[in-house]
């Protein structure tokens, strides 16, 4: 099985030692990725974008990989600033304040008029808005409650391309076809697990993430649009590395680390669900190229039906399926 120019349209690479330890796990098999800006402090200036991109390129070393950079959204961004930074970024990421890792500086209210100057400028400059779509309500309802905010934004800014990040509910899936300017990323783990897998028996901290995994009917809705390669959905791993001690702890950090095994598991999933290879290709690259207007580096990943035992950790970060056996292995990666 061959996959061409895989893209990960939602990736956390962190910074410092963690960046150096895990960047290659994505850069080896993916042509490029949308890089999240929620560092400490967040990436919010042109200089910070350029400097972070250089640190990423240093960390991936000789791997052929394009980091598609993002800014941490601030309502104060004006058109002049956005014009000055446009060529350095692919999108801007909006976080509700305090709702996920390192999001304390995010948006605390969603008054359309307060957001209008920045979002209208983004519309005019064709800069997509990526959104972590959760309220601060009851944890299982947060994403479904946020759909009304997506609807307000999509209506108020019809020319703004809005990416609903890592969707987890059937309500988000339904919203895709209601508004022309709404799109979505879907993670690997949300295609496979429900909350029962996380906390139905002994708690599995390495499956704990935000948005939290939902119900079987939500997973089914996600799986349907992914398998049929709905043109408005694309793969975004939300691969979120934390050191083992931060996951296996009181106050467990949110995030599932899937970067090293994403393509192998997706290949098996699509095969088991009898989805054609061209649908997997669209989900992991083709749709993203059209939605974002990017042309990725040429890379061909060849997978083979050969068992692969997932390592217990990658430089201290425990992956999904650690110590378990997958049906597919990566046989070869060719650039150019």
Q: Which residues are catalytic?
A: 238
Residue 130, Cα to own-chain centre: how many angstroms?
Answer: 10
What span, in angstroms and rounded, lies between the C-alpha atoms of 128 and 7?
17
Which residue's structure tokens are 């995030």?
255
3-state secondary structure of 94: strand
Please state the three-class secondary structure of 247-302 as a single string: HCCCCCCCCECCCCCHHHHHHHHHHHCCCCHHHHHHHHHHHHHHHHCCCCCCEEEE
16: left (phi over 0), alpha (psi -120 to 50) or beta: left
CA atoms within 13 A on the CB side of 77: 29
89 contacts 70 by C-beta, under 8 angstroms: yes
How do 299-304 and 329-335 pair as beta strands?
A: antiparallel
Which residue's structure tokens are 């948005």?
211
Phi first, then psi, for residue 256 (nearest 5°) are -115, 130
């Amino acid at each position: 099985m061959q996959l061409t120019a895989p893209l990960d349209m939602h990736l956390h690479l962190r910074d410092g030692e963690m960046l150096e330890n895990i960047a290659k796990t994505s850069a080896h098999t993916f042509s490029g990725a949308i890089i999240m800006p929620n560092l400490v402090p967040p990436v919010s200036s042109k200089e910070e974008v350029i400097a972070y991109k250089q640190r990423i390129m240093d960390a991936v070393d000789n791997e052929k990989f394009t980091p598609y950079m993002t800014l941490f959204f601030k309502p104060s961004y004006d058109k002049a600033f956005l014009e000055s930074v446009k060529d350095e970024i692919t999108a801007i990421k909006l976080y509700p304040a305090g709702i996920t890792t390192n999001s304390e500086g995010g948006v605390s209210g969603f008054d359309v008029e307060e957001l209008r100057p920045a979002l209208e400028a983004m519309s005019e400059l064709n800069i997509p808005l990526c959104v972590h779509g959760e309220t601060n309500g009851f944890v299982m309802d947060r994403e479904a409650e946020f759909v009304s905010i997506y609807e307000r934004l999509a209506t108020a800014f019809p020319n703004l391309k809005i990416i609903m990040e890592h969707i987890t509910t059937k309500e988000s899936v339904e919203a895709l076809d209601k508004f022309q300017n709404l799109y979505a990323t879907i993670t690997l783990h949300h295609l496979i697990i429900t909350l029962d897998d996380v906390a139905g028996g002994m708690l599995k901290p390495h499956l704990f993430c935000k948005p939290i995994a939902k119900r079987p009917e939500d997973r089914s809705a996600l799986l349907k649009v992914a398998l049929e390669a709905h043109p408005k959905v694309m793969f975004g791993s939300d691969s979120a590395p934390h050191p083992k001690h931060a996951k296996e702890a009181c106050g467990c950090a949110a995030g599932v680390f899937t970067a090293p095994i994403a393509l192998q598991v997706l290949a098996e999933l699509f095969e088991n669900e009898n989805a054609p290879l061209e649908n997997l290709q669209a989900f992991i690259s083709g749709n993203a190229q059209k939605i974002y207007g990017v042309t990725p580096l040429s890379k061909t990943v060849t997978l083979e039906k050969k068992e692969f035992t997932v390592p217990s950790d990658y430089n201290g970060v425990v992956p999904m399926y650690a110590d378990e056996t997958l049906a597919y292995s990566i046989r070869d990666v060719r650039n150019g």
